[in-house]
Amino acid sequence: MNERGSETLHASCVARDGRAILIRGPSGSGKSDLALRLIDRGAVLVSDDYTIVRAIEDKLIASAPPNIAGRMEVRGVGIIQFETAGEAPVALVVDLEREVDRLPPAQQSTTIAGIEVPLIAANALEASAPVKVEAALRHIGLKA
């Protein structure tokens, strides 16, 4: 196994069907809220608020820092223990800071630790956000 580097990102992460969705944005942008709604729809927690990503071969692998593994801050409720996926290959990045284009001009991507990953912009607090993220994972997400 050839590890090419790692980073700790201010991002939450869930896995769906063995593929990770990295949700990044500033504090208060809805990272945990969107992750919680995706979990409610069948995703599994990888990490909340901070995620370690490692470039291994040609994949970006996401995992939780050990001190927060399996835990998620649910605003207004507290810190809750969740089932965790452990680690998963990143297939999609959801950016909560970018402006959401009605029809993006072209497929966008971002490079993390030297690995290019498909990217979408989303408004985490829209009711349809989890459905849009799942559709993006199916249609443009990297395959497992």
- What positions carry a catalytic annotation? 10, 31, 49, 102
* Residue 98: C-alpha distances to residues 29, 93, 108, 135 (Å): 11, 12, 12, 19
Spatial CA neighbour of 13 closest among 43, 55, 56: 43
HSE-up (13 A, CA, CB side) for residue 113: 20
What DSSP element (H or E) covers 128? Answer: none
Position 113, amino acid = A
Q: Residue 56 contacts by C-beta under 8 Å, 6 or more apart in sequence?
A: 1, 2, 3, 4
Whether 88 and 46 have beta carbons less than 8 Å apart is answered as yes
